[in-house]
Amino acid sequence: MKVTVYNCRAFDEKELFERFGEELHIELVLCPDAPDKENAALARGSECIDIITSKMTGDLLKIFADYGVKYVTTRTIGYDHIDVKAAKALGMTVANAPYGPCGVADYAVMLILMTIRKMKRILERTNIQDYTLKGIQGRELKDLTVGVIGTGRIGRTVLKDLSGFGCRLIAYDLYENEDVKASGVSYVTLEEMWQQADVITLHAPLTDENRHMINKETISRMKDGVMIVNTARGGLIDSEALISGIESGKIGGAGLDVVENEFGLYYYDRKSDILNNRELAILRGFPNVTVSHHMAFYTDDCVETVVRDSLLGCRYFVEGKENPWEVR
Ligand code: NAI
């Protein structure tokens, strides 16, 4: 069997693909670029393609389907970049390759700490030998209420990690989790979340229903100085509303591993380019907003797991076996 891998990174993934390809007896076509109309022909003869967070529209999926591709796996947890409905209509199966939640959870906790301790400003100052203290006084987690939205694998790990800091923890999810309740964390309504949380950390997938769940109106109901951390998906936050909230001081800081319209930017060297994502430029410029380029997942453990499981899913699919990663 043959799998065409897109966005294959030479410096960390290639060797892993070669190793797991050999172990699983899979012939691989490794392409460093994102899938598009021009390079779709590389998938001729492959039943499966293996991608990351590049947009897979209905039109693009149709081109792959015409080349005989029946299975699209994404080396990510989120799959909102794939038009799953269109894929199903074309008779294609979509799957993801989730890795352990600890890498993203660690990163979210780090962004929470960086945000409440004003770490961006501290680093900027020490870099230019400005050793003053004015404006960089932080807050302590033990004095804060942290609200976790989405108590799936990552959100639950964040709750567990934060339990050692002595902060008050509240949570919101469409479905309450018994283990979370047993740990003493209270589920609240979204309204209560906005009213009570000093820090809000997002761990829900992006859906049509929750797009821009953080918007002008919900921000107005939050506590003054609220801090927002997003390691889930950029589309959960209306960037314009976030910018206005920061400008007015209503929002005291943010840690953003993801932003709206990041497609086409992240994982490329664009330093000489004029970019068309104004929100990102503005957010990056604020001294109280830490932005990173969608890399909370990026640990040795996560990379190895996604490469292996994305290929393993292809093998299960081709052999008609039960596939735990299939998006239903
Ligand atoms: P999961 O599927 O285990 O948990 C998601 C939870 O969100 C579920 O409990 C679900 O009921 C809940 N949920 C769904 N819609 C909701 C809504 N409207 N409001 C509140 N809760 C809602 O997913 P997991 O593994 O915990 O990942 C969470 C998200 O993290 C992913 O969907 C992905 O977008 C993001 N992610 C980001 C990464 C990064 O590198 N920054 C890496 C991995 C995941």
Rounded to whole angstroms, the Cα distance separating 116 from 160 reads 19
pLDDT score recorded for residue 240:
98
Token duo for residue 173 = 């999810």
pLDDT score recorded for residue 268:
87
**Which secondary structure element, helix H or strand E, spans residue 243, and what is its range?**
helix 239-248
**What distance in angstroms lies between residue 172's CA and the mean position of ligand 1's atoms?**
12
Active site residue 233: yes
For a mutational test of ligand 1's pocket, the pick from 80, 110, 154, i.e. the residue with the most ligand atoms closer than 8 A to its C-beta, is 154
3-state secondary structure at position 206: coil
**What distance in angstroms lies between residue 204's CA and the mean position of ligand 1's atoms?**
3
pLDDT score recorded for residue 21:
98
Closest among 214, 198, 201, 193 to 257, alpha carbons compared: 201
Q: How far is CA 59 from the centre of its chain?
A: 25
Rounded to whole angstroms, the Cα distance separating 86 from 281 reads 33
Ligand 1: does its nearest atom lie under 6 Å from the Cβ of 131? no
The angle at the Cα of 104, spanning 278 to 136, to the nearest 5 degrees, equals: 60
Rounded to whole angstroms, the Cα distance separating 154 from 78 reads 12
Q: Count of residues for the chain? A: 328
User: Are 70 and 93 a contacting pair, CB within 8 Å?
Assistant: yes
User: Are 73 and 48 a contacting pair, CB within 8 Å?
Assistant: yes
**Model's pTM, two decimal places?**
0.92
Ligand 1: does its nearest atom lie under 6 Å from the Cβ of 178? no
277 φ/ψ angles, rounded to the nearest 5 degrees: -110, 90
Q: How far is CA 226 from the centre of its chain?
A: 21
Closest-lying ligand 1 atom to the alpha carbon of residue 177? 9
Active site residue 25: no
Mean pLDDT per segment of 10 residues, for the chain of length 328 residues?
97 98 98 97 97 95 98 95 97 96 98 98 98 98 98 98 98 98 97 98 97 98 98 98 98 98 89 94 98 96 97 97 96
End-to-end CA distance of the chain: 24
Rounded to whole angstroms, the Cα distance separating 41 from 25 reads 22
Token duo for residue 64 = 């792959």
pLDDT score recorded for residue 263:
84
Residues whose CB falls within 8 Å of the CB of residue 305, separated by 6 or more in sequence, listed in order: 97, 99, 100
pLDDT score recorded for residue 264:
84
Token duo for residue 207 = 């859906």
Ligand 1: does its nearest atom lie under 6 Å from the Cβ of 308? no
4 backbone φψ class: left, alpha, beta (φ>0; ψ -120 to 50): beta
